[in-house]
Amino acid sequence: LYTFASAHHSWWENGAFQIEWQQAEAYLKQSPYPIILAGDFNQIAGTKGHDLILASELKLQDAYLAAEVLIGDATIEGPIAGWEEVAEALRIDYVFFTDAWVAKKYEVVFEGQREPLVSDHFGVAVELLLNKNA
């Protein structure tokens, strides 16, 4: 068995992200199983919100940082709803997991190049293997 959760969090600036993350973290701490947490976190990689998740007692890993094979990185390109002032490509959608998993591959999908664009956010596909040593 494992715990898989999907999330859509708020921005850091309005203070809602911190509250939402505390609630999600408290819920996930109850799980006795390996965890996979994915979704739109509205946090740019390497900023306070992203760092807060990585510093969690859950010891989550970012699939992008841990994967053996990387295909793509940004999950939004330029201005979208809520990110109207942003001109550059950013990574704000994530797959996090506990150490029971090994990330073999991270791929940005539905980005309008290899697959059709289906949203203002690109998708993320991750291949995870259960870690027999965990």
What is the mean pLDDT, run by run of 10 residues, along the chain of 134 residues?
A: 96 93 98 97 95 98 98 87 82 96 97 89 96 77
The residues near 74 (Cβ < 8 Å, ≥ 6 apart) are 89, 90, 91, 108, 122
129 in helix, strand or coil? Answer: strand
- How far is the C-alpha of 109 from the C-alpha of 117, rounded, in Å? 9
- How far is the C-alpha of 72 from the C-alpha of 70, rounded, in Å? 6
Range of the domain at 37: 3-130
pLDDT on residue 116? 86
pLDDT on residue 134? 66
- pTM value? 0.93
- How far is the C-alpha of 65 from the C-alpha of 39, rounded, in Å? 16
State the total domains in the chain. Answer: 1
Look up the CATH number of the domain holding residue 82: 3.60.10.10
pLDDT on residue 36? 98
pLDDT on residue 21? 98
pLDDT on residue 109? 96
Q: Are strands 93-97 and 61-62 parallel, antiparallel or unpaired?
A: antiparallel
pLDDT on residue 37? 99
